Amino acid sequence: MTRTRTLRLRSGSRSADMAGIALIVFGGTGDLTQRKLYPSLYHLAQRGRLPKGFSLYGVSRKTLTDKEFRRNIERDIRAFAHGKIDEKAVARVTGAAHYLSADLNHREGYERLEARLKPGTLRLFYLALPPRLFTPIVEHLDRCGMARALGAARSRVIVEKPFGYDYASGKKLERVLSAAFDEPQIFRIDHYLGKQAVQDLLAYRRGHPAFERSLDAGHVAAIRIDALEPGGLEMRGPYYDGAGSIRDMTQNHLLQLLAFMTMKLPRTSSAATIQSARAKVLKAVRPFRNRVDLLIGQYRGYHSEPGVDKDSRTDTYSSLVFEVNDARWKGVPILVRTGKRLTRKLTAVTIEYKPKQGKRHVFQLDPHPHVANEMGDYERLLLAAFDGERELFVSAAEVLNSWKAVDPFLKAAKRTKPILYRKGSLGPKGKTA
Ligand SMILES: NC(=O)c1ccc[n+]([C@@H]2O[C@H](COP(=O)([O-])OP(=O)(O)OC[C@H]3O[C@@H](n4cnc5c(N)ncnc54)[C@H](OP(=O)(O)O)[C@@H]3O)[C@@H](O)[C@H]2O)c1
């Protein structure tokens, strides 16, 4: 595959015009923050791409001094960043860091935060904490005049999935977000969109007109989207047990891959046209031939994972069959499969052609050949959020259309007992289309 870069992120281009950028991490001591956000900020600093006037505020309930917080960030960078440590880049991040101890359920913390933020800065509020806190935080930001009142140039909110639990709760969350922020202020992260390999998929479609012409029901017999991994829950038992593989992977990452492969190629690369092309195709996704064809499994030993209910029927493997109900794709089955504790790591999109057209075209996204100095997904996403580049983020319509597409499968999964499979195997044996 050609490695055409689809994105030209302009570090600090817009941010440099402002009084500076404050990244406020709600959940400043959490797992995601420690493993992904601080190391990514460090890598951006290493590349010289942290915006001018950058400051970082960590907020959580734990009591820490600024000095202790900076020491913790340094610890996380040393533990999770790659390559030889660049001490200057470490100092650039820790030197910009401040800490605020607050329970975000109470207004008083927001008032203290406001008092510490420099006037005129662009505030990026990153919700890196449990979803039950999203609603109170967004409402408090609004009531304290830190949301819509400031506009997109001064205030943005970054939200991590899960964006709800099903269509109804997703809609509720969107209502809360849109009551406080305008859509251009909301940056919903699906970290797959930050992966170079995923962006390359679109670049390949743009760069190969013959391939692009072969993408329709006349040529394609089936599409397969696989995200298989040997890993397990990695200490995220309570979250995963309440979610399962369809909510954790299919509703977001894998339906985004489906959208990248099947959407009408947008004429321009503006965020609005790309988001709207993805939303449009996701709106047409439904169970193949309106039949809920589903296979779910659970690996043996899942019940002894920390944080997992001993009677849990949560799916750690699922195989679903969709269809895009439009003129281009109608009748082509799209098999979406994901699972944990399987033989090997593989994320791939495979186009299976009809006999006359040739065999297949495989886009292997993971493992993916390492390109020297390639940006990591969170690095790219943070930079895009600083610069207000929205095409790497997911719109409300995309979220809701994806929930609509998986809801019938979630309902069926609830009634279905998962088939047990051996750890390190190919998954459960069973019948699916
Ligand atoms: N971890 C991942 O790999 C990952 C991947 C994708 C998405 N996500 C999503 O990212 C979000 C964060 O996940 P996580 O795994 O990092 O969670 P986590 O490790 O449980 O961290 C939660 C953070 O929130 C803080 N917090 C909890 N209640 C608070 C309150 N009332 N006021 C202020 N701070 C509070 C905690 O610190 P205190 O206890 O000190 O307050 C901690 O810093 C979740 O939405 C998750 O679904 C995580």
Specify the pLDDT at position 429: 85
Same domain, yes or no, for 34 and 113? yes
Same domain, yes or no, for 261 and 325? yes
DSSP 340: S
Look up residue 273 and give its amino acid.
T
427 in any annotated domain: no
Same domain, yes or no, for 206 and 308? yes
Specify the pLDDT at position 11: 37
> What is the domain count for the chain?
2
Specify the pLDDT at position 367: 92
Same domain, yes or no, for 206 and 120? no
Last residue of a domain, one of 141, 170, 189: 189
Ligand 1 center–CA 289 separation, angstroms = 40
Distance CA 79, CA 51 (A): 24
Same domain, yes or no, for 174 and 212? no
Q: Which residue has the higher pLDDT, 253 or 431?
A: 253
8 in any annotated domain: no
* 324 band by pLDDT with thresholds 50, 70 and 90: very high
DSSP 301-312: TGGGSTT--TT-
What residue's CA is closest to ligand 1, atom 36?
27
355 in any annotated domain: yes
Look up residue 269 and give its amino acid.
S
349 in any annotated domain: yes
376 in any annotated domain: no
* 19 band by pLDDT with thresholds 50, 70 and 90: confident
Ligand 1 center–CA 50 separation, angstroms = 24
- Section 8-13 average pLDDT: 38
Mapped onto helix, strand or coil, the DSSP state of residue 280 is helix
- State the residue range of the domain holding 142: 15-189
- Section 166-185 average pLDDT: 97
What residue's CA is closest to ligand 1, atom 5?
32
CB 122, CB 154: distance < 8 Å: yes
Distance CA 409, CA 287 (A): 8
Same domain, yes or no, for 226 and 337? yes
Ligand 1 center–CA 288 separation, angstroms = 36
Same domain, yes or no, for 180 and 221? no
Ligand 1 shell residues, CB under 6 Å: 27-33, 60-62, 103-105, 128-131, 133, 160-162, 239
Q: Which residues contact 314 (CB under 8 A, 6 or more apart)?
A: 240, 241, 242, 243, 244, 298, 302, 308, 418
Reference 334, options 217, 252, 413; nearest CA is 217
Same domain, yes or no, for 317 and 413? yes
Specify the CATH number for the domain of residue 169.
Answer: 3.40.50.720
164 in any annotated domain: yes
Query: Which ligand 1 atom is nearest residue 36's CA?
Result: 3
- Section 237-265 average pLDDT: 97
Q: How confident is the model over 296-323, as pLDDT tens digits?
A: 999 999 999 999 999 999 999 999 999 9
What residue's CA is closest to ligand 1, atom 33?
60
Token digits of residue 286: 């439904």
Same domain, yes or no, for 88 and 228? no
* 13 band by pLDDT with thresholds 50, 70 and 90: very low
Q: Which residue spans within 332-375 are E strands per DSSP?
A: 334-339, 346-353, 360-366
CB 38, CB 412: distance < 8 Å: no
DSSP 95-158: TTEEEEE--TTSHHHHHHHHHHSPTTPEEEEEE-S-GGGHHHHHHHHHHTT-SGGG-TTTEEEE
Specify the pLDDT at position 235: 85
Ligand 1 center–CA 246 separation, angstroms = 21
Same domain, yes or no, for 297 and 319? yes
Our mutation pick for probing the ligand 1 site, out of 31, 132, 190, counting the most ligand atoms within 8 A of Cβ, is 31
Specify the pLDDT at position 356: 80
What residue's CA is closest to ligand 1, atom 23?
27
Specify the CATH number for the domain of residue 289.
Answer: 3.30.360.10
Specify the pLDDT at position 267: 87
Rg over CA atoms, the chain: 22
CB 264, CB 327: distance < 8 Å: no
First CA to last CA distance, the chain: 29
Separation in Å, CA 387 to CA 18, 192, 276, 378: 11, 19, 20, 14
Distance CA 7, CA 171 (A): 30
Ligand 1 center–CA 160 separation, angstroms = 10
332 in any annotated domain: yes
Percent of the chain with pLDDT over 90: 90
Task: Please say if the pLDDT value at position 3 is more than 60.
Answer: no
Percent of the chain with pLDDT over 70: 95
Same domain, yes or no, for 157 and 271? no
Distance CA 59, CA 30 (A): 10
Same domain, yes or no, for 250 and 365? yes
Task: Please say if the pLDDT value at position 369 is more than 80.
Answer: no
Last residue of a domain, one of 142, 167, 189: 189
Ligand 1 center–CA 60 separation, angstroms = 9
Q: Which residue has the higher pLDDT, 177 or 8?
A: 177
337 in any annotated domain: yes
Last residue of a domain, one of 189, 218, 253: 189
* 433 band by pLDDT with thresholds 50, 70 and 90: very low
